[in-house]
Amino acid sequence: MDTAEPPRIVVEAPAACSDPAGTSDVLKRSLQAADAPGRDWVVAMKVDLGADHRLRASGEIRDGLGSTVARRVVFGVGADCHGLARAIGVWASLVLDAELARARSGQTRPSRVDVGDKADSGSPGTPSPDIQPLEPVWPAPAPTERRLPEADWYLHHDEAASSELGIGSFLMTGTGADATAGLTPFAVIEVGKGIFLRPAILVGESIAVFVSHATDARSIWVAGRLDACLRLPGLYASRRGMQLDLCGGAETGVTYVSAGSEPLAPVTDQTRAYANIGPSIGLRAEFAWNLAVALRGATGLNLITTGYTDASGARIDFPQASGRIELALSWRLK
């Protein structure tokens, strides 16, 4: 008769662990699909601080009669016991699966102590410390586990800091003329902890001809911008998927408006300084061959609004704010 049922889980995680309750939850989740071959089986884990100041997790599996079936000792660094709990959980799951298969096949369970612990000499029913286990079921786990980059709220990768080059097109208002369209080459440089610097150059020309229909003259706008960005990852594999860039920065440049005789056109050529500060946000998608495409939006306050007098004598001042949308393609260098 199949009497398999889940084992009882006992965790002793003292103050050596930064999150004792979380450690217990990790072990329980690791064993939620495991069954023991009988009633009253126990999986116990005790965490203490060793003489070398490393965390020491002792795992033990006991059957319904209280006899030790297997033991395992793993070590970790730091105060995070979650990795130790996962290692003990995987080991215990494999031992329980082996014991359940043995019980169902009618085989007799040998007495053993798994590698990773030393048996107490003279204890009844256990082999001496120099005896190897009859059926090693799991190699000694690594002392630490590698964290996935996406486990943190900011984006980072274990390899060297990344950088990329790109170019985009933009459409904006607030440069002192009509809507302006142009190109923007840029670079993205990682400085650590999910922080990226994004220097860019922007060159644009007004879309509408507003100064002289005879000469088809347009206003020209040139600026440089520097952003500091925090890149937030989505749930995706490394170097694939969507990312959100939250940025703040400033840009400075000039707006050149050629002279004309019609309304909105100045009597003489005008070159006006431009300065703006404000936030920007970008949605970035990564593809193969280190390529990425990004859709960005930027807005800010114009710090210089002084304009000029047009041919009709009316005062033309620059807007107090600007807005821009960009579509960019970039290539990751490393």
pTM above 0.75, yes or no: no
Does the pLDDT value for residue 29 go beyond 80?
Answer: yes
Highest mean pLDDT among 74-78, 105-109, 190-194: 190-194
* CATH number assigned to the domain comprising residue 24: 3.40.50
- What gap in Å lies between CA 91 and CA 109, rounded to an integer? 18
Using CB atoms within 10 Å of the CB of residue 282, give its burial: 0 to 12 exposed, 13 to 18 middle, 19+ buried.
buried
Same domain assignment for residues 136 and 220: no
Domain membership flag for residue 151: no
Tell me the residue range of the domain where 295 lies: 163-332
Average of pLDDT values for 201-218?
68
The number of folded domains in the chain is: 2
What pLDDT is attached to residue 201? Answer: 97
Name the residue type at position 328: A
Residues 177 and 316 in one domain: yes
Q: According to the model, what pLDDT value does residue 300 have?
A: 95
Q: Is residue 153, in this structure, part of any structural domain at all?
A: no
Least confident of 131-145, 168-182, 284-298: 131-145
Examine the pLDDT at 124 and tell me if it is beyond 90: no
- End of a domain among 145, 177, 211? 145
User: For residue 136, which of 110, 174, 100, 175 has the smallest C-alpha distance?
Assistant: 110
Among 22-26, 126-130, 173-177, 310-314, name the most confident range. Answer: 22-26
Share of the chain above pLDDT 70, in %: 75
* Domain-ending residue, one of 115, 145, 175: 145
Q: Which residues contact 241 (CB under 8 A, 6 or more apart)?
A: 233, 234, 235, 285, 286
In a domain, 157, yes or no: no
What span, in angstroms and rounded, lies between the C-alpha atoms of 52 and 155? 34
Over residues 202-207, mean pLDDT: 91
- Domain membership of residue 137 (yes or no) is yes
- Taking a C-beta distance cutoff of 8 angstroms, is the pair 31, 93 a contact? yes
Q: What is the pLDDT of residues 285-322, one digit of tens each?
A: 888 778 999 999 999 999 998 888 877 788 888 889 99
> Is residue 176 one of the residues assigned to a domain?
yes
Which of 101, 117, 145 is the C-terminal boundary of a domain? 145
Q: Which amino acid is at 49?
A: L
Tell whether 317 is covered by a domain: yes
Rounded to 5 degrees, φ, ψ at 90 are -65, -45
Give CA–CA dist 248/259, Å, rounded. 35
Assess whether 175 and 136 both reside in one domain: no
Q: Which residue has the higher pLDDT, 262 or 217?
A: 262
Quick one: 140 and 57 in the same domain? yes
- Pair 137, 187 in one domain: no
| CB 283 within 8 Å of CB 242 | yes
Higher pLDDT, 212 or 90: 90
Q: What percent of the chain has pLDDT over 90?
A: 28
Alpha-helical regions (H) of the chain: 20-30, 82-105
